[in-house]
Amino acid sequence: MNFNPGDLYGVLPALLLAAGALVLLTSEVFLRPVEPDRRYQAWVAAAFAFAGLWASLAQLGDPAQPLFAGAAVSDGFAHIVAAVVCAALFLSCIVAFSYLESLRATRGEFYALALFSASGMCLLAQATDLVVIFISLEVMSLAVYALCAYLRRGKRPAEAAFKYFILGSFASAIFLYGAAFAFGASGSTRLADLAATVRSGSATTLVYASAALLAAGFAFKVAAVPFHMWVPDVYDGAPAPVTGFMAAGVKAAAFATLVRILVSGYGEGGRWRGLIVALAYLTMLVGNLLAVPQRSVKRMLAYSSIAHAGYLLVAVAAMGTSAPRADAAGALLFYLASYGATVIGAFAVVAIIERKLALSGLGDDLSSWAGLSEKHPALAAAMSLFMISLAGVPPTAGFMAKLTVFRSAIEADLVPLAIFGVITSVAGLYYYLRVVVYVYMVPEAKADAVQGGRLLSAGLAIAGCALIVLWMGVLPGSFAALAQSGAAVFGR
Amino acid sequence: MRALDYLSPYLPVLILLLFAGVLCALIGAAATFLGPKRITAIKETAFECGSPSIGDSHSRHSVKFYLVALLFVVFDVESVFIYPWGSLLRDFQAEGLGWFAYVEMLSFMATLALGLVYVWRKGALEWNP
Amino acid sequence: MEVSWLHLIPLLPLAGAAVCGLLGKWLPKAWLYAIALVTVLLSFCIGLTGFLRLPEEVPIFHEVAFNWFSAGSLHVDMGFLFDRLSGALTLVVTGVGFLIHVYSVGYMDEDPGYWRYFAYLNLFIAAMLTLVLGDNLVAMFVGWEGVGLCSYLLIGFWYTDEEKAYAGRKAFVVNRIGDVGFLIGIFVLFNATGSVSFAQLGVAPLTLATASIAALCLFIGAIGKSAQLPLYVWLPDAMAGPTPVSALIHAATMVTAGVYMVARMSHLYTSAPGVLALVALVGALTALWAALIGTAQNDIKRVLAYSTVSQLGFMFIGVGVGAFFAGTMHLVTHAFFKACLFLGSGAVIHGLAGEQDLRRMGGLRKYMPQTAWTFAVATVAISGIFPISGFFSKDEILAQALHTKAYDFLTLGPGGPHLTSLGTILYLVGSFTALITSFYMWRCYFLAFEGEYRGPEGVHPHESPGIMTSPLWILAALSVLSLVIGLPEPWVRGSFLEHLNWEHFTGRLFSPPRGGPPAGFSPWPGYLVALAIGWAGFGLAWLLYAPARAASGDDRFAALFPRLRNAFANKFWVDEFYDWLVVRPLWSFARGLWRIFDATIIDGLFINGSAQLVAWVAALARRFQNGDVQRYAAVTALGVLALVYAFLLRSSP
């Protein structure tokens, strides 16, 4: 065994984020004991997130190399995922600042937990060893569980976090079970050794059982049907900025790992492809169907996140054949980035509405969105843009993302899957547009405009998201090139 | 099925478990069926086996107890890592990785210390606020 | 010729939309109007300049604005293509759009959401220009979706409750059913040719099967967008929006996108003759269908909506028989007179304080003469009465259907059966439809503008302000003047008018249909029949509706035409006779069609039924989502079991 200190550079984004979390935690305890001013924490967290973003983008051009004797890897794919995570964290910190301040709920550990979870996500994207994957997974998940319960006074956040914790532990256990099987079959926890076992032809039933269990563990994290049950309750109960961060970050990291395990660990074999295809069918269908009757925007977005997991699974399935694998990986990365920008923006708007509801004591119903355009035309326009992007209508990022994903599926001879995806995305319009309708509907009763200042920072984040969504839709060239360069590692 | 091959070394354990279970059940059943049962109030009392219980046995503990217990377990388990490290340090040194192992453990301890400072300053160790 | 100014045409209205939408609430009204109007006018001027300067040899301006995206082997440029077809349509979109902007200044002035309205309107024009000018299918699709979106936003402009929002959503969802077809068609073409640009698709050799599938998929998109059978139902409902919107989007521009697409893809469609026959057939059926329904509608906007559906059917007959120039010519002339009709109906509604029911109008010519005159001119045009534009463009379609290419090329493929009688059938159906069209349009005119005022008490009908009537006049003039592009080619050969002749003008743009060039034919018999048909419709309307007014005590028209009055000795009897013979059966038939098809099948089964199915499935699945964490865990565990089982099943040797 050899240790090369240079390997630490390869995990720089994760290190930066972890360091930021430690800085915040330590600074927290030396604050004035009475009425401490914690506003700096948001900006420190944002600064570290930005540093992480910069680090991951700076490493983008580096050649792919294994780190820590093959326990992790530094390649373009991981760096792009890390960049998406850091960007999501950066935007979420800004949104959370305005949200928490206006609810007077800024307590110590929020930003530190967010940084910890993001560092887990970055590591997750790089890990190529089942033990490292598990540890990163837990670093990410435990912090996210805590974030979900952050507004602990309400009944729903506590319940949501508890459910997430119980079911998440369940999924972790399943993953661990699969990892044990994999170890039993190949005698190693390295994905490369696993792949060698699969290639050697001496693969046993044990190997495939392990593949199924590992896939199930991450299917839970990406919210694929039938492992999706936690999503609506958790998305609904968690504070909106956290939900946005979860939807963008957890999804990106979990998909990256799923791809890593399946492609790097279980190789070419069409064996896992058929199952991912089945999961994709089921997830697109159920996610879109169940979103239709929702009247709470947060719950609708939760089901929509399930549906989007289905579209992302289409890209994963397309990676099951070697010909368009790099294309499909690029489509996956592009989709993750576009979905991240859209969903963080959407939840930022939800956060503003949610705090209005929290202050006025109304329930989260579509009707509370009526007339938003009258009081906040820019907010209404941004929300419509995000909904349209989620629905996959041009000229937004969502359209480009769906186009590239479905195209890669067609190239992988998954034509029925692509057509099914197109059709379900049409069904999706039904519920996305309902939000747009309400936003532009003339309100029946004169409700007050959103009270409380600090709209500015949230507004900046929303504007940033809207800009990215439009940019990726109108001028996707540079983003697509980035995604392709990151996906090149799968071009073998 | 190759899977069974992996499990075959554990067969003796399974047999042992079965044997132990059956034996326990047998002895318990024998005592219940064979022993005479003449119960009086005096016999029901605790005799030189502890003191009579007072109040509800489901008494509440302070939540602080759990907090401190949890923190104890966390730091306890973390410090257990030091033991294998200590026993392997010479081997590391032999391979020329002595300094690496040392720095590694130092950073681990530093992180742990940071956690302790955090817990301490947060007041989680104070029984009475 | 490569140029660098084409992107300005869609960009200017887009910039206007951005300014109006983001700052409109705080801008002074006059500024807002100025921005919205001037950007569209500038686009028009650029388009006009470009149009006049199109080089004679290769009349194409082309611009690659930027490399849009590359996904794998798919490279798409954001490019604009300005040729005689897209150039003319650019002029129509910006020109008619500008007039409707002007009109809207008067129409929407008192609405509190006027700034939003103008932002949407500008956005729509930008999207429509993208659709028209895009040089590849994906760019066209972007515009295609964009116009759908704006249409949706504008239909729902006056949302107050979910019921009204439903109409807008119906439009969008029905459209999206078509868009799925469009998107799949793009994929099919891309897979077959490796490109999506019109320039390469226009020469790419295609097998019959590929061409047919792609053409069919794209046509499904056209059916949705251009409101053809069976997806036309959204258009009448779309009338819930403000009337100028109906004029611009749901009559003049957006709904014709399907026709434009088929014409633009003429190479593909001529490679798939079977689909082309289907296009013509669907067009003919829709034309007849909608015209019949149109005779029984009492809402003035609904009459116009059904007439739009019907006229779009005519355009599809035109492109469907391979006479792409005839279809697109009718597209252009229809844009003028239908916009005029809609704006006229808007003026009526405006003058009657929101009344839309034809039975509660009447005699409005007295109160709003300018509206009445322009409406009459446009009615003449749409009825196909000589010599206004509609006569020539509609007759050209029918003549082409009857006489020429249909005989030669309408086959189901090489060696397949020749559908020789299809052309004749199309001609007969089309001519009959033209008769009905003339009838119901005149009925509409008579009910609204002639006779006694039957409107609501206390409402004083009044003429609209000049800012609303001047666009009416311009559009009426254009309806008349645009006849020059439709004059038959033999008439104008050699004169300066030849360059304006649409067939000559667009000569090299479209792929000739299979079966060689059309045989020369004389337009005269067709013209005579068409002439008769136009007037017959008018006469029928007159017989049915003019005496009815006399019966109610208005003798003015009877005095004006005594002989006609004498022809019906007993006016009551005539009334009842016609009522019994024609009106009642026709009415109940049309009403029945509407009820059975629109209300029951499409609305009930298709729209509500699918919604019910979705709600049912959702309710079923929600039983599992009851918040019970044990149940969640159980479902998860079952999922794991299923996954492992499936994996093992597949991998067991």
Task: Tell me the mean pLDDT in the region C555-573.
Answer: 40
Size of interface A-B (CB pairs under 8 A): 27
Task: Tell me the two tokens of residue A445.
Answer: 């009763």
For the packed helices C137-155 and C114-133, what is the interaxial angle rounded to 10 degrees? Answer: 160
- The Cα of C264 is separated from the nearest Cα of chain A by a number of Å equal to 21
Whether C183 has a pLDDT exceeding 70, the answer reads yes
Do A293 and C615 lie within an 8 Å CB cutoff? yes
Give the model's pLDDT for residue C603: 59
- The Cα of C640 is separated from the nearest Cα of chain A by a number of Å equal to 6
pLDDT digit string (tens) for A101-116? 887 777 778 999 999 9
Task: Tell me the mean pLDDT in the region A224-232.
Answer: 88
Taking CA–CA distances from A203, the nearest residue in chain C reads C651
Model confidence at A462, pLDDT cuts 50, 70, 90, reads very high
pLDDT digit string (tens) for C50-76? 888 888 777 888 888 777 777 666 777
Do C142 and A394 lie within an 8 Å CB cutoff? yes
Query: Cα A167 to chain center, whole Å?
Result: 18
Model confidence at C571, pLDDT cuts 50, 70, 90, reads very low
Taking CA–CA distances from A445, the nearest residue in chain C reads C160
Task: Tell me the two tokens of residue C214.
Answer: 């792609």
Element (DSSP H or E) covering residue C99:
helix C84-107
Do A293 and C622 lie within an 8 Å CB cutoff? yes
* Highest mean pLDDT: which range of A84-93, A153-162, C347-356, C398-407: A84-93
Contact list in A for residue C27 (CB cut-off 8 A) is none
CA A283/CA A270 separation, integer angstroms: 20
Do A293 and C71 lie within an 8 Å CB cutoff? no
Task: Tell me the mean pLDDT in the region A14-22.
Answer: 93
Please give the C-alpha separations between residue C191 and each of A71, A325, A425, C177, C268, in angstroms, as whole numbers: 41, 18, 21, 22, 14
CA A315/CA A333 separation, integer angstroms: 9
Coil, strand or helix: which one is C513?
coil
Alpha helices in C552-605 (DSSP H): 556-560, 562-567, 571-578, 584-593
Give the model's pLDDT for residue A364: 72
Shortest CB distance from B2 goes to which of A25, A29, A206?
A: A206
- The Cα of A332 is separated from the nearest Cα of chain C by a number of Å equal to 12
Per DSSP, A127 falls in state B
Give the model's pLDDT for residue C191: 79
Task: Tell me the two tokens of residue A218.
Answer: 């991450």
Coil, strand or helix: which one is C55?
coil
pLDDT digit string (tens) for A151-160? 877 777 888 8
Do C72 and A230 lie within an 8 Å CB cutoff? no
Biggest alpha carbon–alpha carbon distance for chain A? 71
Give the model's pLDDT for residue C622: 64
Q: Which residues of C237-248 are buried (b: 16+ CB within 10 A; e: fewer)?
A: bbbbbbbbbbbb
- The Cα of A55 is separated from the nearest Cα of chain C by a number of Å equal to 26
Q: What are phi and psi of A106, to 5 degrees?
A: -75, 105
Give the model's pLDDT for residue A427: 76
Do A29 and B100 lie within an 8 Å CB cutoff? no
Instruction: Quote the radius of gyration of chain B (alpha carbons, Å).
Output: 27
Task: Tell me the two tokens of residue C481.
Answer: 């003047």
Q: Is C353 on the interface with A (CB under 8 A)?
A: no
Give the model's pLDDT for residue A362: 64
Whether C609 has a pLDDT exceeding 80, the answer reads no
**A96 CB contacts (<8 Å, ≥6 apart)?**
A42, A110, A111, A114, A239, A241, A242
Most A CBs within 10 Å, among B6, B95, B102, B120, to test the A interface: B6
- The Cα of C478 is separated from the nearest Cα of chain A by a number of Å equal to 34
Beta strands in C34-138 (DSSP E): 61-71, 74-82
Which stretch of A42-46, A97-101, A390-394, C167-171 has the lowest confidence by average pLDDT? C167-171
pLDDT digit string (tens) for A340-387? 999 999 999 998 887 777 666 666 777 788 778 777 878 888 998 999
* Highest mean pLDDT: which range of A73-82, C29-38, C77-86, C404-413: A73-82
Is the model more confident about C147 or about C160? C147
Per DSSP, A203 falls in state -
Whether C506 has a pLDDT exceeding 50, the answer reads yes
Chains with ≥3 Cβ pairs under 8 A against A?
B, C
Whether C562 has a pLDDT exceeding 50, the answer reads no
Chains with ≥3 Cβ pairs under 8 A against B?
A
Taking CA–CA distances from A19, the nearest residue in chain B reads B111
Closest Cα to residue C17, out of C154, C144, C142?
Answer: C154
Model confidence at A203, pLDDT cuts 50, 70, 90, reads low
Whether C563 has a pLDDT exceeding 70, the answer reads no
For chain B, the domains span: 3-44, 63-122
CA C178/CA A423 separation, integer angstroms: 11
Task: Tell me the two tokens of residue C209.
Answer: 């099967």
The neighbouring-strand residues paired with A65 are: A74
The neighbouring-strand residues paired with A66 are: A73
Model confidence at A410, pLDDT cuts 50, 70, 90, reads confident
pLDDT per position in chain B (129 positions), as tens?
Answer: 455 666 777 888 899 999 999 999 999 999 888 888 778 887 777 777 777 777 777 777 777 788 888 888 988 888 888 888 888 888 888 887 888 888 888 988 998 888 888 888 888 777 775
* Highest mean pLDDT: which range of C44-48, C368-372, C432-436: C44-48
In one-letter notation, the amino acid at residue B6 is: Y
Model confidence at A205, pLDDT cuts 50, 70, 90, reads confident
How many CB atoms sit inside 10 A of residue A169's CB? 14
Contact list in A for residue C168 (CB cut-off 8 A) is 437
Model confidence at A141, pLDDT cuts 50, 70, 90, reads very high
Do B118 and A205 lie within an 8 Å CB cutoff? no
**A13 CB contacts (<8 Å, ≥6 apart)?**
A52, A53, A55, A56, A59, A79, A82, A86, A119, A122
Q: What average pLDDT is seen over chain C? A: 78
pLDDT digit string (tens) for A76-99? 999 999 999 999 999 999 999 888
pLDDT digit string (tens) for A270-305? 678 888 999 999 999 888 888 877 778 888 999 999
Instruction: Tell me the CB-side half-sphere exposure of residue C39, using CA atoms within 13 A.
Output: 26
Task: Tell me the two tokens of residue A152.
Answer: 């602990």
Task: Tell me the two tokens of residue A386.
Answer: 């995000």
Closest Cα to residue C102, out of C154, C46, C33?
Answer: C33
Task: Collect all residues from B whose CB is shorter than 8 A from any CB in A.
Answer: 1-3, 6, 95, 97, 100, 111, 114, 117-118, 121-122
Q: Which residues of A355-369 are buried (b: 16+ CB within 10 A; e: fewer)?
A: bbbbeeeeebebbbb
Per DSSP, C360 falls in state G
Whether A448 has a pLDDT exceeding 60, the answer reads no
Whether A30 has a pLDDT exceeding 50, the answer reads yes
Taking CA–CA distances from A382, the nearest residue in chain C reads C22
Coil, strand or helix: which one is B96?
coil
**C385 CB contacts (<8 Å, ≥6 apart)?**
C391, C438, C531, C534, C535, C538
How many CB atoms sit inside 10 A of residue C520's CB? 8
Shortest CB distance from A29 goes to which of B3, B95, B122?
A: B122
Which stretch of A111-125, A237-251, C351-365, C432-446 has the lowest confidence by average pLDDT? C351-365
- The Cα of A206 is separated from the nearest Cα of chain B by a number of Å equal to 6
CA A448/CA A282 separation, integer angstroms: 42
Place of tokens 């002074």: C28
For chain A, the domains span: 7-490
Closest Cα to residue C90, out of C102, C79, C81?
Answer: C81
In one-letter notation, the amino acid at residue C162 is: E
pLDDT digit string (tens) for B72-100? 898 888 888 888 888 888 888 888 788 88
**C303 CB contacts (<8 Å, ≥6 apart)?**
C294, C297, C358, C440, C441, C444
Give the model's pLDDT for residue B97: 80
Window 114-133 of C: residues touching A by CB (8 A cutoff) are: 116
Contact list in C for residue A394 (CB cut-off 8 A) is 141-142, 145-146
Do A429 and C629 lie within an 8 Å CB cutoff? no
Give the model's pLDDT for residue C573: 43
Do C643 and A440 lie within an 8 Å CB cutoff? no
Most A CBs within 10 Å, among B122, B125, B126, to test the A interface: B122
Model confidence at C568, pLDDT cuts 50, 70, 90, reads very low
Query: ipTM score of the complex?
Result: 0.81
Place of tokens 């254009």: C478
Model confidence at C569, pLDDT cuts 50, 70, 90, reads very low
Do C187 and A418 lie within an 8 Å CB cutoff? yes
Model confidence at C593, pLDDT cuts 50, 70, 90, reads low
Long-range contacts of A227-230 (CB under 8 A, 24+ apart): A227/A171, A227/C636, A227/C639, A227/C640, A228/A283, A228/A286, A228/A287, A228/A306, A228/A309, A229/A167, A229/C624, A229/C625, A229/C631, A229/C632, A229/C635, A229/C636, A230/A163, A230/A164, A230/A167, A230/A168, A230/C632
Task: Tell me the two tokens of residue B127.
Answer: 């029984």
How many CB atoms sit inside 10 A of residue C360's CB? 15
Give the model's pLDDT for residue C599: 59
**Beta pairing, strands C74-82 & C61-71:** antiparallel
Task: Tell me the two tokens of residue C237.
Answer: 């409902």
Task: Tell me the two tokens of residue C266.
Answer: 């003429």
Do A206 and B3 lie within an 8 Å CB cutoff? yes
DSSP labels, A107-120 = -TTHHHHHHHHHHH
**A353 CB contacts (<8 Å, ≥6 apart)?**
A297, A368, A369, A372, A450
DSSP labels, C193-211 = HS--BHHHHTT----HHHH
CA A113/CA A143 separation, integer angstroms: 5
Do A406 and C187 lie within an 8 Å CB cutoff? yes
Q: What are phi and psi of C629, to 5 degrees?
A: -70, -30
In one-letter notation, the amino acid at residue C23 is: L
Percent of chain A scoring above 70 in pLDDT: 93
Task: Tell me the mean pLDDT in the region A29-49.
Answer: 84
Model confidence at A177, pLDDT cuts 50, 70, 90, reads very high
Instruction: Tell me the CB-side half-sphere exposure of residue A138, using CA atoms within 13 A.
Output: 11
- The Cα of A29 is separated from the nearest Cα of chain B by a number of Å equal to 6
CA A222/CA A227 separation, integer angstroms: 9
pLDDT digit string (tens) for C261-306? 999 888 888 888 788 888 888 999 888 888 877 776 778 888 888 8
Do B100 and A205 lie within an 8 Å CB cutoff? no
Do you find a cis peptide bond into A239, omega within 30 degrees of 0? no
Closest Cα to residue A117, out of A58, A65, A164, A177?
Answer: A164
- The Cα of A4 is separated from the nearest Cα of chain B by a number of Å equal to 10
Whether C547 has a pLDDT exceeding 70, the answer reads no
Q: What average pLDDT is seen over chain A? A: 86
Element (DSSP H or E) covering residue A72:
strand A72-74
* Residues C308, C205 contacting (CB under 8 angstroms): no
Closest Cα to residue A127, out of A54, A77, A199?
Answer: A77
Chains with ≥3 Cβ pairs under 8 A against C?
A
**C501 CB contacts (<8 Å, ≥6 apart)?**
C484, C485, C487, C489, C492
Do C180 and A423 lie within an 8 Å CB cutoff? yes
Coil, strand or helix: which one is A13?
helix
